[in-house]
Structure formats: C-alpha cells, structure tokens
Amino acid sequence: MGRAGRRSSAGPRRSKAAAEAILEAAEAVLAEVGYAGFTIEQVARRAGAGKPTIYRWWNGKPALLIEIYARQPLDLSDTDTGSLEGDLVAALARLLTFWRETPAGEAFTALLVEAQHDPAALEMLRAFLAERSFPFADLFDRAARRGELAADFDLAAGLDLVSGYVWARLLTRRLDNDAPSLSSAARQMARGCLRR
C-alpha cells in the first residue's frame, strides 16, 4: 500500500470503497438480526473492517444508522393527486412501503431506540428530523399553493401529526399497506388542515 493509502486510512477522509463495504455490512446486519443485535463489533466483523475505522468515519451507531437511512431511495414524486387528502394517502403508502422494504425502517427504529438512552443520539435524531424537514413538508407546500389550507394552519403541528402517525405504525409493526385505515387517517389529517 502506497503513502496515499496509508494516509487515507489514518486520516478522517474515507476510502469510498471501504465505506461502501461497511454500509452494506451494516444493512445486512440490520436486516438479519434487527436493531437489538446491531453493534459496531458485528458490522466490523461482517465488513472485514476494524472497529476504529468505523468509529473514525461515523463516531458511533446513531451516525451510521442515519447514513443507512439517508442512502435509501424514497421517492415521493408523482404523489400530486390534486388534493391534500389524496396526496397524503399516496405519500403515506409510499413511506410505509419504504420502511417495510428497505433497511430504512429498521434503521429508523434503531435510531428511535438509541435516542431513549443516549442523549447524543437524541440530539442527532432531532437534528435529523429538522434537517430532512420531513418529506411531507412538500405536500403541505403544495396544498398551500392550491389554496387548500386554513389561514391558521400550523405546519409544525401538521408535521407532528403525520410523523406521529407513521412512527406509531412503525413501532407497532403495522407497515402493511391497509388501504382503508390509511384512507381514514389521511382524511382526518387533511380535514384538520383545510379551509372550512
């Protein structure tokens, strides 16, 4: 290994291929044993990497979980149905499927759990939620442009209700796309925001 190689493995800069291998290993561990067995040790073993390398690049489990989440493809385009209610039905179904079918669901569950005993993880969870500005914000923007929203609509409350609803489904493992109950929930959420 040449000088550059040595320097890169000792410095904060990542080797792209090694990082990718670690992320893939982390996804595999999550998928196979769930968050309870998800340790940096396990990930390192599976990736054939050293624990120090992982800690140098991610500084801990929460950061690794967030990167796993963020690299999964969540496509909420084509959810413009012409009304907030329709958009919510489409986007909720898309999000539940995303959590069910990619490592994102297990990664987010793990982050929620970590946040309950690790103050640093709680800070990262909050920053993550604020930064990503939860994808549903776009739906409310669209509704505002259509003139659907009540004058006193509060975006923060709207996002709290949507995210609470989907978190509760995640945590009780109801990620199936049961159209009738999604429709009822979306109808109530939308009506709560609309002009009367």
Which residues of this chain interact with a copy of itself, rule CB under 8 A?
A: 34-36, 109, 112-113, 115-117, 122, 125-126, 129, 150, 152-154, 156-158, 160-161, 163-169, 171-173, 181, 184-185, 187-194, 196
Q: How far apart are CA 108 and CA 167, in angstroms?
A: 9
Measured CA to CA, the distance from residue 190 to residue 119 in angstroms comes to 34
Q: How many CB atoms lie under 10 A from the CB of residue 196?
A: 4
State in angstroms the smallest separation of the CB of 78 from a copy of itself: 25
Q: What is the dihedral of CA 26, 32, 37, 38, to 10 degrees?
A: 10
Q: Looking at beta carbons only, is 57 or 103 nearer to a copy of itself?
A: 103
CB of 115 to a copy of itself, least distance (A): 7
As measured in angstroms, the least distance from the Cβ of 60 to a copy of itself is 15
Q: Name the minimum Å distance from CB 24 to a copy of itself.
A: 23
Contact (Cβ atoms closer than 8 angstroms) between residue 53 and residue 9: yes
Closer residue to a copy of itself in complex, CB, 49/148:
148
d(CA 157, CA 178): 25
